[in-house]
Chains A and B, each alone.
Chain A
Amino acid sequence: NAGVTQTPKFQVLKTGQSMTLQCAQDMNHNSMYWYRQDPGMGLRLIYYSASEGTTDKGEVPNGYNVSRLNKREFSLRLESAAPSQTSVYFCASTTGLSGEQYFGPGTRLTVT
């Protein structure tokens, strides 16, 4: 039982490049989330998927797209990376019953 896994762990991009961050959970959770964490800003919600087949914007969706590929997988895509997207990205999931979210280990992204 791996919980929530994220790939890659680290990534360096040049401005304008694109990439997809992958997230998978093996807990049969309905809801999945993408957050970014910046110094002094806490965790901010980018997008979430309340259930398979649905996605919704969070607080800071601009510059990102998401895909809920199936119940297990939720990916985050940066189409044209900008230095302002340098951050640590966390994926999380929850059953939707208790509200407690389980987080992955994070992806540290640097855009130069």
Chain B
Amino acid sequence: DQQVKQNSPSLSVQEGRISILNCDYTNSMFDYFLWYKKYPAEGPTFLISISSIKDKNEDGRFTVFLNKSAKHLSLHIVPSQPGDSAVYFCAASGTSGTYKYIFGTGTRLKVLA
């Protein structure tokens, strides 16, 4: 049973436009969420996080929104750049103190120049 779902395996966006990546979760005990970006042949790198006490967190071009009632979070990238082309994973945790995360299956973003 997939507790964290990224239902769009891929997404293509024009350079300069907004990219919206979505993530749904089923476990209401999850209270901390992260987004990671992964380039081929490299390990994932941290992008942005959000705690369940917030509904929005911004860092430069990246904003994460959390809708707890819908058990849904989204990552907005504005404006999108070709260097943003990568696989994006969302991850969720509800096990306080151990930071044990459940990852989604990833969305491959392609930003077209």
Contacts and interface: CB of A to CB of B under 8 A. Distances in A.
Interface of B: 4, 6, 9, 32, 34, 36, 41-46, 49, 89, 91, 93, 97-106
Given A56-B98, A99-B93, A104 B103 contact: no
B106 A45 contact: no
Nearest to A48: B100
Interface of A: 4, 31, 35, 40-45, 48, 50, 56, 58-59, 90, 92, 94, 96, 98-106
Contact of A43 (B45, B97, B99, B103): B103
A94 B41 contact: no
B89 A43 contact: yes
A44 B3 CA distance: 12
Contact of A58 (B36, B41, B91, B100): B100
A41 B89 CA distance: 11
B49 to A, nearest CB: 6
A33 B6 CA distance: 22
B101 A101 contact: yes
B29 to A, nearest CB: 15
A96 B101 contact: no
Contacts of A90: 43-44
Given A50-B98, A99-B49, A100-B49, A40 B105 contact: yes
A101 B103 CA distance: 12
A101 B105 contact: no
Contacts of A92: 43
A42 B103 contact: yes
A42 B105 contact: yes
Indicate the member of B6, B46, B99 with the most A CB atoms within 10 Å: B99
